Amino acid sequence: MRTYLLLIGVAFITSYLLTPVLRAVGARFLPEDSVRKRDMHKRPTPKLGGVAIIGAIYLGLAMASRIPFLDGVFRNTEPVQGVAIALAVVLVMGVLDDLMDLKWWIKLIGQISIGLIIASHGIVIKALPVGSVHFDSQVARVAVTILLIVLIMNAINFMDGLDGLAAGVSAIGAATFFIYSYYLATRVDAEDYSNFSALLCAILLGATLGFLPHNFNPASIFMGESGVLAIGLLLAVSSIAVTGDVLGEDAFRFRNVPAYMPVILPAAVIMLPLLDLGLSVIRRMSRGQSPFHADQGHMHHRMVQGGHSEQTTVILMYLWAALCASGVMAFSLGNRRIVVPVYVAAIVFVGLATWWPKIREGYTQLKADREK
């Protein structure tokens, strides 16, 4: 665990120190973005924060490759090389999009290419625990892998609408998935706790936490396209890799872990972004618009419009993300006699806090009606 904590710290410090540098570069050399109608911020803000996040990830991977504790991860360097190459594509495409606002179909082609890079380096989904579904065809494995990567990257992208929202929710997801991946590693070998998914999530956790102080409301910099794509990429690769661990040829090693965890947990980790993505696609297509057409109909926008401040909305979204992400592990691995009442109480509390403006408005209206 100390090795992972060290990598979290290194990624945190790197991201934290690099972000102001990229903010200065963006403010000095890049064209100033105008504030659009759908934007929640009130002043032009640089968008190169994702470059700092990617820089922290690269440094974390480079440092990890030199640590003997993680020799098991780097015994086969192909998956790590795939992530490094995919991140380079993310970096170039993300910066170009922040500069020139690329067409949606160009970005989609780029995302598919990123998925192909990952799949070509051996990171593919081989099976699902739903009815013991196995993908015997390599084409099917690659197609499902690309679909998942593109889906998660866009889900994180749709979440990036308020200061600190995407970074904070992603940090919560990375932390939860790190704990799960580390738990799996301890089931395999009492002496070797190295795990590819745990490594990626640890570095991602540090990188997002280091960026968050600069991005929380009022944000001095945004992560931009490069940041959301990098975060989505690492979360997707982590979930694909751990699914291969649990459901692959050596699945017997994880017989004490519920079979549904490798699929349900990644979905729970990004439940809010996925839900928002689905609702946005339905909403836009029902209007005859492209699914990629931007608007102010996201969940966080509605919460602000409903009476919450931007800061309160972000904190509430953090709480919902934590409940979604921790729920699967708590119910699967914890004492349900304790977990159930605590979890129900937490949902009631966060639910009341979320709908409090409506509750207060209804109470005020009822009181006014009675006084009449």
- pLDDT band per the 50, 70, 90 thresholds, residue 108: very high
The average pLDDT across 212-234 equals: 92
137/193 Cα distance (integer angstroms): 32
- pLDDT band per the 50, 70, 90 thresholds, residue 339: confident
Q: Identify whether 84 is part of a domain.
A: yes
Model pLDDT, residue 213: 95
Judged against a pLDDT cut of 80, whether residue 370 lies above it is answered with: no
Q: Identify whether 196 is part of a domain.
A: yes
Mean residue pLDDT of the chain comes to 82
The average pLDDT across 115-120 equals: 96
* Helix 165-188 × helix 261-269 angle, to 10°: 160
162/217 Cα distance (integer angstroms): 8
Judged against a pLDDT cut of 70, whether residue 149 lies above it is answered with: yes
Q: Identify whether 271 is part of a domain.
A: yes
For 191, other C-beta atoms within 10 Å of its C-beta total 5
pLDDT tens digits, one per residue of 250-279: 444 444 455 556 556 666 766 766 677 777
pLDDT tens digits, one per residue of 3-56: 999 999 999 999 999 999 999 988 876 655 555 555 554 567 888 899 999 999
295/267 Cα distance (integer angstroms): 24
Q: Identify whether 361 is part of a domain.
A: no
User: Which residues are CB-contacts of 263 (< 8 A; sequence separation ≥ 6)?
Assistant: 128, 129, 130, 243
244/241 Cα distance (integer angstroms): 5
Strand, coil or helix: what is 309? coil
Strand, coil or helix: what is 133? strand
Q: Identify whether 370 is part of a domain.
A: no
Judged against a pLDDT cut of 90, whether residue 114 lies above it is answered with: yes
The average pLDDT across 77-93 equals: 96
Model pLDDT, residue 89: 97
Contact criterion met (CB below 8 Å) for 233 and 86: yes
Most confident of 78-82, 157-161, 238-242, 365-369: 78-82
Top pLDDT among 41 and 297 is at: 297
Judged against a pLDDT cut of 70, whether residue 64 lies above it is answered with: yes
Determine the structural domain holding residue 73 and report its residue range: 2-299
Strand, coil or helix: what is 34? coil
Q: Identify whether 281 is part of a domain.
A: yes
* Cis before 273? omega within 30: no
Top pLDDT among 268 and 225 is at: 225
Q: Identify whether 316 is part of a domain.
A: no
The average pLDDT across 190-219 equals: 90
Would you give the DSSP letter of residue 128? E
Give me the number of domains the chain comprises.
1
Q: Identify whether 348 is part of a domain.
A: no
Contact criterion met (CB below 8 Å) for 119 and 141: yes
Model pLDDT, residue 111: 96
Model pLDDT, residue 249: 45
Model pLDDT, residue 252: 45
Query: 277-283 long-range CB contacts below 8 Å, 24 or more apart?
Result: 277/151, 277/154, 277/155, 277/158, 280/158
- pLDDT band per the 50, 70, 90 thresholds, residue 246: low
